[in-house]
């Protein structure tokens, strides 16, 4: 048996070491180009896999010509169904945003006497809704098993900005679904971009706890989404009195839920994911650190860490815990990346304070729930440092 010359192994080892020694920028470009080449094939392979799985289960026996025709039609039908689904989601998002803006304008006309805090909150919400109108819809085209809970790839990039005539897809562009945060763009290629998810341990948005009317509005949105899903499945599911009773009960519950007048702005801190880019993990928990309310701001006064009492003795604002289970965590806009007011997570567990602690730690779950089924997201323009807005060089 002929032996392989030893220099062949040295060539292979040298090539591998060279790839491992590439700079970060070069490796990201190489990875992006590779994904751009294989992403279309990956999508079609998934469609083929779904079809063949169904075909094997059905056990139908047809001629080869008929089978090929059925496969072709089934594949086209699957692709068209996916296209219609994504277009429907985009239209629903735009209609929802426009209706929210219209409702806010009507409310502003009918309610001229609102407090400063509510007025500011309304302005922030309106700003977010206007940003959503500029959002670019994007499909998830690739998600590696080795970094499933850390990143994914979407089908928009520099070419999208050229088509739009403005920069929307850029590094540090927030990625959202409705008003909920998904992650941030950390690499932009020509036709695709990589999104770092909020479940990644390296992403740390600055957040604060909200309590009151936003919680009620979130419940209303969830009930509304459930009713829409049940309505779309009405023709598929067999008629049942139990289904009709459930729809009636959900509708009545949604109507009875009325948001209160108060929105309490409480503890501030940071969130980070618990997932590391090693392999697919089932953990979707977010870890919160550094939560306290030691300093007053425009939304609320400073509060005691343990009792929640306002620090100002003469304050008429009631005492309350600065953190509770089921509090909403929203972005503060103080991290330089995300605009304020985006929904991030819901508090699930509070860690007990130890002797000498001056901040809370907590566990939270993403508002979006299961991030494993993401297929359509929206990219909004970056809000951080603008490289175009710089002073002239000294001496010029």
CA–CA distances in Å: residue 103 to residues 3, 221, 368:
78, 15, 24
Cα 91 from chain centroid (whole Å): 18
Q: How far apart are CA 88 and CA 237, in angstroms?
A: 21
Q: What is the 3-state secondary structure (H, E, C) of 59-102?
A: CCCCCHHHHHHHHHHHHHHHHHHHHHHHHHHHHHHHHHHHHHHH
Q: Are 214 and 60 in contact (CB under 8 A)?
A: no
Q: How far apart are CA 80 and CA 208, in angstroms?
A: 42
Q: How far apart are CA 97 and CA 82, in angstroms?
A: 23
CA–CA distances in Å: residue 94 to residues 53, 71, 135, 214, 381:
36, 35, 9, 21, 16
Question: Which pLDDT band holds residue 48 (cuts at 50, 70, 90)?
Answer: low
Q: Are 208 and 303 in contact (CB under 8 A)?
A: no
User: For tokens 């109108």, what's the residue?
Assistant: 133
Cα 143 from chain centroid (whole Å): 15
Residue 81 in any domain: the answer is: yes
The predicted pLDDT at position 213 comes to 79
Residue 157's domain comprises 76-104+115-197
Cα 346 from chain centroid (whole Å): 14
Residue 139 in any domain: the answer is: yes
The predicted pLDDT at position 146 comes to 82
Task: Please list, residue by residue across 326-346, b when 16 or more beta carbons sit within 10 angstroms of its beta carbon and e when fewer do.
Answer: ebbbbbbbebebbbbbbbbbb
- Tell me: pLDDT of 137 over 80: yes
Query: What's the rounded mean pLDDT across residues 324-344?
Result: 91
Q: How far apart are CA 296 and CA 302, in angstroms?
A: 4
The pair of structure tokens assigned to 323 is 């953190």
Query: What's the rounded mean pLDDT across residues 76-81?
Result: 58
Query: What's the rounded mean pLDDT across residues 21-50?
Result: 67
The predicted pLDDT at position 297 comes to 87
Question: Which pLDDT band holds residue 61 (cuts at 50, 70, 90)?
Answer: very low
Q: How far apart are CA 238 and CA 380, in angstroms?
A: 41
Residue 84 in any domain: the answer is: yes
The pair of structure tokens assigned to 11 is 């060539």
Best mean pLDDT range from 5-19, 67-81, 208-222: 208-222
- Tell me: pLDDT of 12 over 70: yes
Q: Are 176 and 342 in contact (CB under 8 A)?
A: yes
Question: Which pLDDT band holds residue 117 (cuts at 50, 70, 90)?
Answer: very low
123: domain CATH number is: 2.40.10.340
Residue 183 in any domain: the answer is: yes
Best mean pLDDT range from 161-175, 208-222, 224-238, 300-314: 161-175
Q: Are 264 and 320 in contact (CB under 8 A)?
A: yes
Question: Which pLDDT band holds residue 113 (cuts at 50, 70, 90)?
Answer: very low
186-207 pLDDT, tens digit per residue, is: 999 999 999 999 999 889 999 9
Alpha-carbon torsion, ordered 132, 134, 139, 145, to 10 deg: -70
Split into its structural domains, the chain has a count of 1
Q: Are 93 and 132 in contact (CB under 8 A)?
A: yes
Looking at every residue in the chain, the average pLDDT score rounds to 76
In percent, how much of the chain has pLDDT > 70?
Answer: 62
Cβ-in-10-Å burial (0-12, 13-18, 19+) of 15 comes to: exposed
366-392 pLDDT, tens digit per residue, is: 998 888 888 889 999 887 655 456 666
91-111 pLDDT, tens digit per residue, is: 565 566 556 555 555 544 344
pTM of this structure: 0.68
Cβ-in-10-Å burial (0-12, 13-18, 19+) of 291 comes to: buried
Residue 148 in any domain: the answer is: yes
The predicted pLDDT at position 318 comes to 86
- Tell me: pLDDT of 351 over 90: yes
Question: Which pLDDT band holds residue 6 (cuts at 50, 70, 90)?
Answer: low
**C-alpha gyration radius of the chain:** 25
DSSP line for 182-240: EEEEEEE-SS-EEEEETTBTT---EEEEEEEHHHHHHHHHHHHHHHHHHHHTTTTSPP-
231-283 pLDDT, tens digit per residue, is: 777 777 777 777 788 888 888 887 777 766 678 899 999 999 887 655 555 56
The predicted pLDDT at position 145 comes to 83
The predicted pLDDT at position 279 comes to 57
Q: How far apart are CA 230 and CA 249, in angstroms?
A: 13
Residue 180 in any domain: the answer is: yes
The predicted pLDDT at position 155 comes to 92
Nearest CA among 334, 321, 332, 333 for reference residue 362: 321
Q: How far apart are CA 365 and CA 375, in angstroms?
A: 20
Residue 246 in any domain: the answer is: no
Residue 10 in any domain: the answer is: no
Q: How far apart are CA 198 and CA 369, in angstroms?
A: 12
């Amino acid at each position: 048996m002929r032996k392989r010359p030893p220099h062949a192994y040295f060539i292979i080892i040298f090539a591998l070491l060279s790839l491992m020694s590439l700079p970060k920028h070069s490796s990201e470009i190489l990875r992006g180009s590779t994904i751009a080449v294989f992403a279309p094939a990956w999508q079609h392979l998934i469609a083929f896999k779904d079809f063949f799985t169904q075909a094997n289960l059905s056990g139908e026996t047809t001629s080869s010509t008929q089978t090929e025709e059925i496969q072709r039609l089934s594949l086209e039908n699957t692709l068209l169904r996916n296209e219609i689904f994504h277009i429907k989601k985009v239209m629903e998002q735009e209609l929802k945003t426009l209706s929210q803006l219209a409702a806010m304008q009507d409310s502003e006309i009918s309610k001229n006497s609102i407090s400063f805090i509510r007025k500011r909150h309304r302005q922030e919400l309106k700003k977010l809704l206007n940003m959503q109108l500029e959002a670019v819809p994007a499909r998830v085209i690739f998600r590696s098993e080795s970094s499933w809970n850390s990143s994914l790839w979407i089908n928009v990039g520099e070419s999208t900005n050229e088509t739009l005539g403005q920069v929307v897809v850029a590094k540090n562009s927030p990625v959202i679904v409705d008003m909920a945060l998904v992650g941030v763009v950390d690499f932009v290629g020509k036709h695709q971009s990589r999104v770092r998810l909020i479940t990644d341990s390296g992403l740390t948005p600055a957040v604060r706890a909200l309590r009151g009317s936003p919680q009620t509005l979130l419940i209303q949105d969830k009930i509304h989404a459930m009713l829409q899903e049940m309505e779309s499945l009405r023709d598929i599911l067999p008629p049942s009195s139990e289904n009709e009773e459930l729809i009636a009960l959900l509708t009545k519950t949604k109507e009875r839920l009325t948001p209160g007048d108060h929105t309490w702005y409480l503890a501030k801190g940071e969130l980070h994911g618990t997932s590391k880019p090693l392999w697919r993990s089932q953990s979707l928990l977010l870890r919160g650190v550094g939560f306290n309310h030691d300093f007053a701001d425009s939304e609320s006064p400073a509060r005691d860490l343990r009792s929640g009492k306002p620090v100002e003795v003469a304050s008429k604002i009631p005492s309350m815990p600065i953190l509770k289970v089921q509090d909403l965590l929203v972005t503060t806009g103080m991290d330089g990346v995300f605009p304020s007011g985006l929904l991030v997570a819901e508090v699930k567990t509070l860690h007990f304070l130890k002797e000498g602690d001056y901040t809370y730690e907590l566990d939270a779950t993403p508002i979006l729930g299961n991030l494993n089924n993401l297929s359509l997201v929206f990219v909004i323009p970056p809000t951080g440092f603008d490289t175009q807005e710089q002073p002239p060089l000294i001496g010029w």
